[in-house]
Amino acid sequence: MRPILFIDRDGTIIHETDDEKIERIEKLTFLDDVLYYLRKIREETDYLFVMVTNQDGLGTPDFPDEEFWPVQNFIVKTLEGERIKFDAVHIDEHYESDNHPNRKPGIGMLSEYVKGDYDIVNSFVIGDRSSDVELANNIGCKAIHLDSIYSTKNEDAALTTKSWKEIYEFLCG
């Protein structure tokens, strides 16, 4: 049984924007050191990498597919170019007001992992929002909380940090 890193995208791998929408590559920047330390974690551990992201209104006029997919594909190709391959990517397009079970912190789109043959107890959700910490609780694993302007220190997280280096040291040290 392998453990999993459920990794959020916006605010965790790439910088969140003021409008909370990254619809153009020009708006995209990766977090400091994320590429270096994600690669080290990938190479030095047995974790499966699963990207989990809410993308409000994806596929609607508010956020058309033709805006989202070029950016998403660029992110994935950049990560793969750094030898960081995700085993799976789960994207929920619902608005928070929809109360859909697939939207984080709901576990609907992750039920295959909760019910599957995985080491959930030694798995982590890595994210920048309280909903990511809540997702970890809902899955039955631990949380690593990236402190950001959208959140404050979260006492329920196994680690709260602003640094991918600290995440690497926590997971690999």
Catalytic site residues?
A: 8, 10
- What residue spans of 19-63 are helical by DSSP H? 34-44
Distance CA 44, CA 139 (A): 24
Calculated CA dihedral for residues 8, 98, 156, 41, nearest 10 degrees? -10
Pull the structure tokens for residue 122: 């030694």
Buried b (16+ CB within 10 A) or exposed e, 42-77: beeeebbbbbbbbbbebeeeebeeeebeebbeebee
Closest listed residue to residue 120, CA positions, set 141, 106, 137: 141
Pairing of strands 159-161, 48-54: unpaired
Reference 22, options 122, 146, 145, 30; nearest CA is 30
Contact 84, 36 (CB under 8 A): no
